[in-house]
Amino acid sequence: MNEDRNTTQNTHEQKVQSRVKTFSCDGCSKHFSTNSDLTVHMRTHTGEKPFSCDVCHKSFSQHGTLKVHMKTHCGIKEFSCNVCSKNFSTRGGLNTHAIIHSGLKQFSCDVCLKQFALKQSLTLHMKTHTERPKLFSCYFCRMSFTDKAILAHHIKVHKGLKNFSCDVCLRRFLNQGNLVKHKRTHTGEKPFTCSVCHKSFSEKSSLTGHKKIHSGLKEFCCNVCSKKFTAKGTLNKHMDIHAGLKKFSCEVCSKRFSVKSNFIIHIRTHTGEKPFCCPVCRNSFSCKSHLVIHKKAHSGSKEFFCNICSKRFSAKGRLIGHMRIHTGEKPFSCSVCQKAFRDKSSLTKHERIHSGSKPFSCDICSKCFTQKGSLKAHMKFHIGVKPFSCPVCQKTFYMKHSLDGHMKIHSGLKRSPFLHFVGREPILWEDFLWFSSFEGGKK
């Protein structure tokens, strides 16, 4: 028994003695217990990375780091998160990921007090507060970067290195993060949920931008018109409007747009595509915002109201347009005759008078119109629908203004100059021409 105890004690003393740090670094005076540890450490000073990946040629200072890296190419992810089932190639990666679920944010920025779950996230954030020299320059385009890792990622763009492939559509990506985001377009996965309205998003950046809607934070301001935005990208697109940059051109009518989303919506006016459908009445729309406004008609929600006449609206844009009635503001002016209008749609309709454009065509007789409403009214003549009925004599009309003119006959306020008589029955001149056209056809 005593012999076993003495043997254990001797083994322990040997291990302690073996841990004596006798190897010293000449560069920083740090000490190590083995020569191999010192050799690995010296590579941090020399920058030597003798272990290279055969797939992507990335280099590493240690063989163990290369072995871990190879798992990203072969797809081995043996460590799984028991909360969201996300898989990782290393236990360290899983442990780091688990901190996100814990909600613990122990790393705080000394400048703006923003907190982070991971130390590397704080390190990256701190760079936003300090102007660092861009020492790493791309030898293709001479663009400079503050970090070598960012430069390495940038060079992949020039070399076309896309080592990560989607197994569904075979599309390739520069890094695994972009591949993960892309795969959500196939799976429909939206793992990032807003804690206020419970709306879900496929990317964390989209959730971060969405949260600013609830907070009302708009930190990016236009220095021309003082309009504010929640995201810098949206501000940059807005600035193109002031600069007059219209890089998106319609191949059908040659109309140009400064914003790509507006260009896509415009294209649908030519194709007739209406991908956004109301689940209640099955009415379809060319853009999502119109569907959102339409849905409020079913719910009866009118959250925007005029502080002058108390009229309520379902959309903020309609309230803004309404307010111009009170203020008399007409910010949209015709470049030909200088006539001003309260809203852009009225200006667009007016400009067709000068251009002679009639984009709305009847499928039956090919007659063209400058406005969609005129085409709708015209179609009633073909199908014989007269939706406007006189409450006095029950006579029906194709258009409301015809009914309005007819009502003056009953009220005695005014007799229409277009009033004619066929037998004893009074009809409007418009209807008279309609019936005359049939009579003429019979001759």
pLDDT tops 60 at residue 94: yes
Selected residue with higher pLDDT from 27 and 335: 335
What's the pLDDT tens digit per position in 280-289? 888 888 888 8
Residues 74-88, mean pLDDT to the nearest whole number: 77
pLDDT value at residue 416: 45
Between the alpha carbon of residue 328 and those of residues 279, 320, 323, 371, 386, the distances in Å are 38, 12, 8, 25, 36
pLDDT value at residue 337: 92
- The lowest-confidence range among 70-74, 311-315, 405-409 is 70-74
Residues 84-96, mean pLDDT to the nearest whole number: 79
Specify the DSSP element, H or E, that contains 204.
helix 204-215
By C-alpha distance, which of 70, 71, 25 is closest to 51? 70
pLDDT band at residue 229 under the 50/70/90 scheme: confident
pLDDT value at residue 303: 80
Phi, psi for 136 (deg, rounded to 5): -105, 115
> Amino acid identity of 267?
I
Residues 68-85, mean pLDDT to the nearest whole number: 77
pLDDT value at residue 419: 44
Residue 37: CA count within 13 A, CB half-sphere: 11
Within 8 A by CB and 6+ apart from 390, the residues are 396, 397, 403, 406, 407, 410
Which letter does DSSP use for residue 224 in this model? T
Residues 237-265, mean pLDDT to the nearest whole number: 82
CB atoms within 10 A of CB 257: 20
Domains plus CATH for the chain? 51-126 (3.30.160.60), 136-243 (3.30.160.60), 274-355 (3.30.160.60), 360-437 (3.30.160.60)
CA pair distance 146, 81, nearest whole angstrom: 33
pLDDT band at residue 247 under the 50/70/90 scheme: confident
Residues 135-144, mean pLDDT to the nearest whole number: 81
pLDDT tops 50 at residue 422: no
What's the pLDDT tens digit per position in 150-185? 888 788 777 777 778 888 888 888 777 888 888 888
Q: Are 11 and 28 in contact (CB under 8 A)?
A: no
**Helix (H, G, I), strand (E, B), or coil: what is residue 69?**
helix
**Helix (H, G, I), strand (E, B), or coil: what is residue 331?**
coil
pLDDT tops 50 at residue 241: yes
The pairs formed by 137-144 with CB atoms below 8 angstroms and a separation of 24 or more are: none
What integer best gives the mean pLDDT of the chain?
A: 78
What's the pLDDT tens digit per position in 332-387? 888 889 999 888 888 888 888 888 888 888 888 888 888 888 888 788 778 777 88
pLDDT value at residue 432: 47
Residues 23-49, mean pLDDT to the nearest whole number: 83
pLDDT tops 80 at residue 441: no
Query: What is the full DSSP assignment across 140-187?
Result: TT--EES-HHHHHHHHHHHHT---EE-TTT--EESSHHHHHHHHHHHH
pLDDT value at residue 7: 56
pLDDT value at residue 8: 54
pLDDT value at residue 10: 57
Residues 90-97, mean pLDDT to the nearest whole number: 81
Residues 299-309, mean pLDDT to the nearest whole number: 84
The percentage of residues in the chain with a pLDDT greater than 90, rounded to a whole number, is: 1
